[in-house]
Structure 1
């Protein structure tokens, strides 16, 4: 590895970019080469080449063990379209992790529905199933968000959804390839949504995908394709009785080709990341880290730590930066704390119990990635830096 491979311009180890095209052997990217060779970048290919979008959709329908999948513009769009396809709209209430990126709540709000925050359970990496079941007022769906290469326990949430008779969506945008003791992330819920944004496990800069039952995905497909019903010749039909008011939220062939070339290597990527993360963890044997429900099945992309308080989190970050290692909060705060949502909730808080644990811990949870590109010496440097800042950390309780 060259210095360019391992560092930013400031000389800080920066493995947050899990996929870096400049470090790949692009001669082996057969799907990308095929798209570039015929020059057709629109998903509806007018040649003998099978659409890269179609290949991606088939691959991830199988990965998530769903009937069908459709590629879309990005993960946030995927969440919104999945919700709409499930019939979620104005007057509905959708439960979502309080400890999640604000885009998850925004996707719910964009349908006209109300996001209902659910606090952490017994560990940081959990949704409180008891709190979910006791939510104030009715619920119409649940969005379970997996966190940076760690799969949350989805079984208890699935059980609550089944008892309530409501659908469950899994946000796998940050945890593609991660698993739990129950199943892989995205395989428990009715619908799985993932992302191919720059910082994700597989990246085409932007892009996303929704997988689920055929009837739901057909609706997502139309909503993302200007609402059209596609004829056998591939042309759009807005006279058909099943046509909808939709948006242009498709993924390009260039993006899909990049995704497909990485998708066929995903298991190798996960194995490399897990090996990198295992080496890091070995150097942190007596240092507290946040453990997932089934660590052996994590994607291996990140190690999470919990600081004593917000000030300690900043001191830890600065200490690592001083030693050439980049660490940062997963999310600086729970989405309910942003002014946007404080203004949305008339009383200054969402309906139901305030998610005190997520609010109190969010700024204290920091992430240290383990990209597949990081060398042994760089991993050891990261471990030494974390050890030097260990006084700022506590065990997740």
Structure 2
């Protein structure tokens, strides 16, 4: 009897193992880039010209009855800098070369990290630092991903934080089952504002007063911006569409990486709408976004049109559009954007690429994450070009 139980236990363990899987996948991207900002040019080797270099660890287990447990741990890295992959998570340049301002690039698990349950009948629920539906909407409406030519963090933002984050900490996301091509999403990251305020210390490791995101396993240990999002996606045949309504409460909370814990005073709403239609070798896309505050301090509206055409191993892509501001000193001013690109596929996973984008930011809406403030000048124009190699695995 004992041997039978042991054998049954071994068989059950083997069966469970056979229904589980873990996989590694990712992408590497690097090449030659040129940046022209405020009338000054800088050139050199850089990464992520066409996509984010990253390593993903994914796993799932079949729980039976159409239910499975899943997880993902994403790490984004820098393919051209050792310092960028060995610095501190805050990237403050105060202690040593490894604490360089570039030092957040390769911190383990710095991308999407989540675990959850998935069912075709009941939908999906994920916990962690989970990607917004807004990111998916943005990717639906133009062909450049989040890299050069996309308008990401130049014309468009992914949320209202200073670095335009693509996810929130301490979040939960529910995704409905798909009905006739439609799928809905509900996203929530609770506002936390009860943490003890401390005096600003210029010598602190993170150079911050009150941390805006809960970089801790203890709920309430840090203040955190409140985030909620509703999303609706559609994909059926040649048509695809996506809408995301993101709302963030910054009142009393400092923005990510804000020094001295400067408290926010507004609630932001970022609404993003995208559509795409595939016709033979061509694909046409449109993207629209509004970004407003309840105080009237921000009121931007941006729209771009994009297209791709596949000719053998070559994919050509283009995007153009503008952003108009209706608030403050920028009221009535317009920023314009143009992006071009081409991929030459060496294989299913590898490609040579060209990317170029130019922005005339007369509305002053360019996102801080892509504003190289260290470059001198006062011009409103910003341009980037890249020629590189992308390898998937």
Q: TM-score, normalised by structure 2?
A: 0.22
Structure number with greater Rg is: 2
Q: Which has the higher contact order (CA 8 A, sep 6+)?
A: 1
Q: Which has the higher helix share?
A: 1
Q: Which has the higher strand share?
A: 2
Q: TM-score, normalised by structure 1?
A: 0.21
